[in-house]
Structure 1
Amino acid sequence: MKLSFDTKILLHELHYRKEKKHFIVEKNSTGDFYEMPEICIEAIEKINQQQSLKKIEEDLILAYPQEEVDLLSFVQQLIELELVKEVDGEEVFHDGINQAVSGFTWLPSSFARILFNKATIPLLLLLFLVNLLLFITDHRLMPHYTDIFLFQSMISNMGLYMLISLVLIILHELGHILALRSYDLPASVSVGHRMYILVVAETDLTAAWKLEAPQRYRLFLGGMFIDQLLLLAAILTKLSVPAGEELFAGIISIVILDIFIKTIYQCSIYMKTDLYYVLENATRCYNLMENGKNDLANWIPYLKKDSTTATFEGEEKMVRIYGIFSLIGVLFTFSLFVFYFIPQVTYILKTTLPHLVDPVDNPYFWDAVAIVLQLLIMAGLLLFTIIKSKKSSSV
């Protein structure tokens, strides 16, 4: 589409709000959000006033002498972002669909505010400190990688652990949903993955941009609030379980182990965990991960830069600090593999593989076969996702 200074532009209905550094712009019809500096907002306002593009550019050059102003390029970007409705009276058609979230509105906000209100974040910090203190003062509470092995049958152990983990994931996401509903905002949940093989549920927190920055913490930390509440309940239950209730005590230990691991995982901010969004919100640098990778690409040759994102002026220092936090997050992830995942897989193989030589009428033979098949499937999925990721990055 060829643009000129005589081109007439009609934008979609936009709503914008000043942040600490820049503006958050919302496209009302789709619920999409964009971060823009003040000069872009002034350009949008002048376009909405039907001023000529030539005059707008001249005014912006005078108002922002230190900025490089190219209004036609900016309008072209607006078109690519699907923010332009008409060009010279002709409607601009896009392939995009309305992505505005509208789920879980049946959950009353008054109910959500029972758990999620002004006291939620202070209470979360208190819960975290109490749980940490309990772990420090009673070493018996510290989760061990063998806690998931309640039965002799590995399939039974894996099935129970997966069931408990699934329930806890649902409750974690329910925390995010209730936090959204406490502000009377809609919510939706999808399934994603981390580190190629970790399947996770993800609550769409896009609606958080409708709120002021301090209000968003409740949304980002809603899942961890539920986690820490359940963890305290599990710890107190374990301390009060009478002797002889080994199965029940074992189930409680699995709950503690799972939440403990997921809490450490949240510190892996080189992925977009809940704590990553907390850091992003606190710094008001809304592309920390992408800009952090671009910064690393200056030092690591094989890393490819993301051309769709750029660092705003003054964010360079925070991007570097994020790199340090990312390194710490990698160490946290590495510790999970060293102290939990690798020992668990080693234990499973050491326990089950000898049963492959048992007679076929022995149930533990089939238990071993099922475990081996499960590991092969996981290895295949890991290989497939790595190959797929490399292919997509090379395109």
Structure 2
Amino acid sequence: MTIAALDATSRPSVGHLLVRKEDEDEFVLGNPETARFVVVPEAGARLIELLSAGHTVAEVADLMEQELGEPVDVVDFVEMLVEAGLLDEREAAGQTPAEGAEGAAEPGRKVKYWAVSKIPPWVVKPLFGKAAWTFYVGCLVATLVMFAADRSLLPSYEDAFVLTDIVLSLLITNVVVLGLAIVHEIWHAFAGAAAGVRSQLRLERRGIFLVLETDLTGLWALPPAKRYSPFLAGMAFDSFILFAAVAPRFAYSRGWLDLNPNVVRFLAMLVLSQVGKLAFQTMAYLRTDMYLVMATATGCKNLHQVTRLGLKRRIRKLTPQEQTILRDADAKDLQVARWYRLLYLAGIVWMGWFALNFLLPAVKVTLGWAGGVVIGAPIFSLYWWEGVLLVVLALLSLTAPLFIVLRNRLRARRAAAAFARVAA
């Protein structure tokens, strides 16, 4: 791509970019407003330092040549920053908004952050201090002890049905699960805010599962040790809710507490929900919270994609872009991918098994029962509407991930078209 207004006399506006040393010879360069981050060599960090000091492109090129003993294409570097979404064209050319064309390029558009992530750090920091994490871990340990002491507290698929009315039970379960999923993501956003990072909430897909996801891209501008709390915050909340649901049932089973049977069934449903969530987060191959923890601990930068492309090339030919990604992959990603691919393959097999043994049979039974009700019950009666609702819920659970795949592909095409317009 070429930016017409960018030349040797330009003074690119890069002072708002964050620069942090990642490894011995690598730096993370990012723009918190667009939530875009890239890894650059030490020379790239030095270029930003010189441009931030107010030097022109020509002056920076001369200084870098004196330091390195070879010429450096500063214009190409600045254009790369625009293509990566870290700068818009006006910032790259050093223009004020009045001097440049109206609007920024699509790749560098500013992010609309989730409102809950804008809370001042001092408000939410107590939720993620040493005392708080001791409490979260204590909740999980205590829950495991109660499970070991009374195996009847372990969840069963039957716990999803709080009432004898199937439709009402599914409605209650889905509403509660959705509500807890939102608070799970809010806890991620709170932890990000405590670390000074804002976030976005979005709907995504993990394999065959539809999930809510808090985008905390800005964490990559922080040292690795400061990323773990936001990554694990959702699981911390889930551990607390799980303890709060198991403890009363444990006391009830011991005769220490008298509970209404409906409350006991509701708590059992919460246990099923939270155990499922925590188990899901441990499935690193689905790029869950634990995947981010693992990638941070191993120092990987693009582990999932490198693993996927490494397996893909054994089956079919990669595109030129995919070949470039694999060729330029970080050594740590390639090293960890040797054993991570086993988890990846196991995950694919597990999802296939889950779909064949649980998802599809459940949808088949639900559609069969609901179809019989819709056909046999008087039209527009309460029983008929219950059948219609069950059909809708079954079809949504089956097709929702496909809609996310479609949405992401459309977004990718729009982004590619935006880059083409910039290049033109």
Per the alignment, residue 222 of structure 1 pairs with 233
Bigger drift between 265-274 and 327-336 goes to: 327-336
Per the alignment, residue 170 of structure 1 pairs with 182
Task: Select the structure that is richer in helix.
Answer: 2
Unaligned runs of 5+ in 1: none
Per the alignment, residue 311 of structure 1 pairs with 329
Per the alignment, residue 20 of structure 1 pairs with 23
Per the alignment, residue 145 of structure 1 pairs with 157
Q: Which amino acid in structure 1 is aligned with residue 302 of structure 2?
A: N
For normalisation by structure 2, the TM-score amounts to 0.76
Q: Which amino acid in structure 1 is aligned with residue 165 of structure 2?
A: S
Distance (whole Å) between structure 1 residues aligned to residue 45 and residue 113 of structure 2: 25
Q: Which amino acid in structure 2 is aligned with residue 32 of structure 1?
A: R
Change (3 A) 1:389 1:45: closer
Tell me by how many angstroms 1:390 deviates: 6.9
2:394 to 367, 375, 390: 375
Bigger drift between 278-287 and 20-29 goes to: 20-29
- Give the match's secondary structure for 1:315: helix
For normalisation by structure 1, the TM-score amounts to 0.80
Bigger drift between 215-224 and 196-205 goes to: 196-205
2:243 to 225, 232, 249: 232
Q: Which amino acid in structure 2 is aligned with residue 161 of structure 1?
A: T
Per the alignment, residue 134 of structure 1 pairs with 146
Distance (whole Å) between structure 2 residues aligned to residue 102 and residue 382 of structure 1: 23
Bigger drift between 221-230 and 53-62 goes to: 53-62
Q: Which amino acid in structure 2 is aligned with residue 144 of structure 1?
A: S
Change (3 A) 1:88 1:97: closer
Tell me by how many angstroms 1:236 deviates: 0.8
Tell me by how many angstroms 1:199 deviates: 4.0
Q: Which amino acid in structure 2 is aligned with residue 192 of structure 1?
A: L
- Give the match's secondary structure for 1:10: coil
Tell me by how many angstroms 1:317 deviates: 0.0
Tell me by how many angstroms 1:70 deviates: 6.1
Bigger drift between 368-377 and 344-353 goes to: 344-353
Tell me by how many angstroms 1:170 deviates: 2.2
Q: Which amino acid in structure 2 is aligned with residue 237 of structure 1?
A: P
Q: Which amino acid in structure 2 is aligned with residue 18 of structure 1?
A: K
Change (3 A) 1:128 1:29: closer
Q: Which amino acid in structure 2 is aligned with residue 375 of structure 1?
A: A
1:293 to 308, 313, 319: 308
Answering whether residue 278 of structure 2 is matched by residue 263 of structure 1, we say yes
Superposed, 1:230-379 pairs within 5 Å as: 230-241=241-252, 245-301=260-316, 306=322, 309=325, 310-330=328-348, 333=351, 337=355, 341-342=359-360, 344-345=362-363, 348-349=366-367, 351-356=369-374, 358-360=376-378, 363-379=382-398
Change (3 A) 1:335 1:108: farther
Tell me by how many angstroms 1:33 deviates: 2.6
- Give the match's secondary structure for 1:325: helix
CA RMSD of aligned residues (A): 3.8
Change (3 A) 1:118 1:60: farther
Tell me by how many angstroms 1:16 deviates: 0.8
Answering whether residue 81 of structure 2 is matched by residue 78 of structure 1, we say yes
Distance (whole Å) between structure 1 residues aligned to residue 351 and residue 7 of structure 2: 53
- Give the match's secondary structure for 2:191: helix
Bigger drift between 359-368 and 288-297 goes to: 359-368
Per the alignment, residue 213 of structure 1 pairs with 224
Q: Which amino acid in structure 2 is aligned with residue 44 of structure 1?
A: I
Change (3 A) 1:119 1:302: farther
- Give the match's secondary structure for 1:194: strand
Q: Is the 8 A contact 2:34 2:110 kept in 1?
A: yes
- Post-superposition Cα deviations, 1:63-120, rounded to whole Å, max 9, x if no partner, equal 8xxxx97666434313423437344979776323332747337745444233211344
Per the alignment, residue 419 of structure 2 pairs with none
- Post-superposition Cα deviations, 1:338-381, rounded to whole Å, max 9, x if no partner, equal 67545644553565455455441774444233322433455455
Distance (whole Å) between structure 2 residues aligned to residue 244 and residue 334 of structure 1: 40
Change (3 A) 1:391 1:267: same
Tell me by how many angstroms 1:15 deviates: 2.7
Count of residue pairs brought into register by the alignment: 390
Per the alignment, residue 33 of structure 1 pairs with 37
Q: Is the 8 A contact 2:245 2:270 kept in 1?
A: yes
Tell me by how many angstroms 1:127 deviates: 3.7
- Give the match's secondary structure for 2:230: helix
Q: Is the 8 A contact 1:10 1:47 kept in 2?
A: yes
Q: Is the 8 A contact 2:161 2:269 kept in 1?
A: no
Identity rate, percent = 24
